[in-house]
Structure 1
Amino acid sequence: MAGRWVLRIGSLVVGLVLWQVLTATDAEVWLRFSQLPTVVEVAQRFGEQVGGADYYRDLGNSLLRITSGFLLAAVLGVTFGVVIARSRLLGDLLQPSLEVVRPIPAIALVPIAILLFPTDEQGIVFITFVAAFFPILVSTRHAVRALPTIWEDALRTMGGSRWQVLLRVVLPGTLPGVFGGLSVGMGVAWICVISAEMISGQFGVGYRTWQAYTVVDYPGVIVGMITIGLLGWLTSSAVELLGRRVTRWLPREASA
């Protein structure tokens, strides 16, 4: 295990050293590294931002938007996925409309969100919700339909009701697929919330990154990008960790 962490940290260090060398020497090998800030400049700018209150206010705003939109998407995505997969009538009623909306990029709904919602904050949460909703919905629907029917039949032969089948077979059996959708949904939600903040936000990591670009603060832009990457990694890792905890009862492959 220690060897794997050494390898991971080593690869990161090599990447940073290569970045520093290429930018410090103004290398131009088709790509113009002379236009990028060095690692030292980015580190200095990062230290300045971490020492100010605006950085943490932006973090809090982005995390609040992600949490609100993602939790709503998780509840409704799982609910609709189960309903559509389990009920032919409701599937016929709901799935056509959802399938028409699903290919539309969530960020393309920004003008609609501006028209529909009285505040930009509500519109950004809506964009985040839409971005996460469909991956969760589709993963849940496929997970429910992939369940072996013999599991349900076994419980029914023992007198199990529809609710018991749902609670003891369907929901536990679909958890791996559901958490796969949640992990994907979290990543997509971050992409869209940052884009929405750049377009119509007043605070947040995306807004601050765009503001840095408009004033030609390229180290600040890189700091914003790194912050976005770290936030996305931490939140996705949290979802995957929760998924492993919840599905501990599943058989695992032996490690090599």
Structure 2
Amino acid sequence: MSNIPSGQVRPIGPWDSLTLKNPFRKSAGAVKEPFSARQRNQLLRRMLSLVLFFGIWQILCLVKFNLWINFSFLPSPIEVFGATVKFFSSNAMIHIQSSAGRVLAGYFFATILGVSLGILIGWFQKLEDLVFLPLELLRPIPAVAWIPLAILMFPDAESGMIYITFIGAFFPILISTIKGVEGVDMLLLRVGQCLGARQWDVFKDIVVPGAMPSIASGLVIGMGNCWFCLVTAEILAGRYGIGYITWESYVTSNYPPIVMGMLLIGLMGSLSSYLVEHVVQLLMPWRVTKKKTA
């Protein structure tokens, strides 16, 4: 019970001032603004960066800048925009759906296998001794080097393309998961053991949640790598895919669709990485992200 008489305001002590200044503490009656001035300024700065990027690119193409980097034959943003309009006025969705399906399939298998195997390797020393070295030998091999083996190993091109996108995501997820499990604070493990927790309880209640931030980073990087490997994978394609359009345009020396395909892959990769990051943040409600300085 408080000893302060009614009607008087309790003085704020040093601990209260620290609490009030805590940037991560939300007051009970606080209402979050739907779109704050900070967010508006952030959006404006990012839009300005895009305008500057495409504007400088257009100017360099117009003046045919040629000093170490040659812009004389590079398609300008206007030409790329024309190629994009032409692309979407035809059967664009077939190519987008084909590429997205391959990436999602490869990413799904990479997530299941990479996370489960990474947790087991990080937790069990004997399993690490048995399987980690062969995996580490395969990890540096670039995706393009897997094309001949993908043709030999799989009965159709579609399976081979999914396999190459799988390779792109698997190793970042695997390594991030292993390092996350190995990096769990030993003090937490000892506390759990001292409180009588069984090994399974320690594993599911301490190790897996403790490794989640590292696993989340691997999942985001793995999604980006899937799209990174898309053009390599769709060299095997017969007719459809954004990567296939990009490669076919290069072979036929039709340059604007090449840049269009690159930008589409970058856009779809960024959106899917953002979605993955948002989902894994929802799986970690205990994690507080520090706000950056404005």
1:1-256 → structure 2 map (5 Å cutoff): 1-53=39-91, 55-197=92-234, 199-202=235-238, 203-256=240-293
Give 1 or 2 for the bigger CA radius of gyration: 2
Q: CA deviation at 1:103?
A: 1.8
- Indicate conservation of the 8 Å contact 2:164/2:233, yes or no: yes
The letter of the residue matching 2:145 is A
Could you say which structure has the higher helix fraction? 1
The letter of the residue matching 1:9 is M
CA distance in structure 2 between the aligned counterparts of 1:139 and 1:26, rounded to whole angstroms: 44
- Is the deviation greater in 82-91 or in 152-161? 152-161
TM-score (norm 2): 0.82
Q: CA deviation at 1:255?
A: 4.7
Cα shift readout 1:43-77 (whole Å, capped 9, x = no counterpart): 12211111222x21111111111111111111111
CA distance in structure 2 between the aligned counterparts of 1:3 and 1:76, rounded to whole angstroms: 41
CA distance in structure 2 between the aligned counterparts of 1:193 and 1:111, rounded to whole angstroms: 16
The letter of the residue matching 2:51 is V
- Is the deviation greater in 26-35 or in 16-25? 26-35
Name the SS of the counterpart of 1:150 in structure 2. Answer: helix
Q: CA deviation at 1:254?
A: 5.0
CA distance in structure 2 between the aligned counterparts of 1:19 and 1:154, rounded to whole angstroms: 57
Q: Report what 2:12 is aligned to.
A: none
Q: Report what 2:6 is aligned to.
A: none
CA spacing shift, 1:106–1:212, aligned 2, 3 Å: closer
- Indicate conservation of the 8 Å contact 2:231/2:246, yes or no: no
Name the SS of the counterpart of 1:37 in structure 2. Answer: coil
CA spacing shift, 1:255–1:190, aligned 2, 3 Å: closer
Cα shift readout 1:123-159 (whole Å, capped 9, x = no counterpart): 1111111121111111111111111122222223333
CA distance in structure 1 between the aligned counterparts of 2:79 and 2:102, rounded to whole angstroms: 30
Unaligned residue ranges in structure 2 (runs of 5+):
1-38
CA distance in structure 2 between the aligned counterparts of 1:104 and 1:26, rounded to whole angstroms: 38
Cα shift readout 1:72-117 (whole Å, capped 9, x = no counterpart): 1111111111111111111111112111211222321111111010
CA spacing shift, 1:147–1:30, aligned 2, 3 Å: closer
CA distance in structure 2 between the aligned counterparts of 1:194 and 1:134, rounded to whole angstroms: 19
CA distance in structure 2 between the aligned counterparts of 1:205 and 1:252, rounded to whole angstroms: 35
Percent identity among equivalent residues?
Answer: 35
Q: CA deviation at 1:250?
A: 1.7
- Indicate conservation of the 8 Å contact 2:231/2:247, yes or no: no
TM-score (norm 1): 0.93
- Indicate conservation of the 8 Å contact 2:96/2:242, yes or no: yes
Unaligned residue ranges in structure 1 (runs of 5+):
none
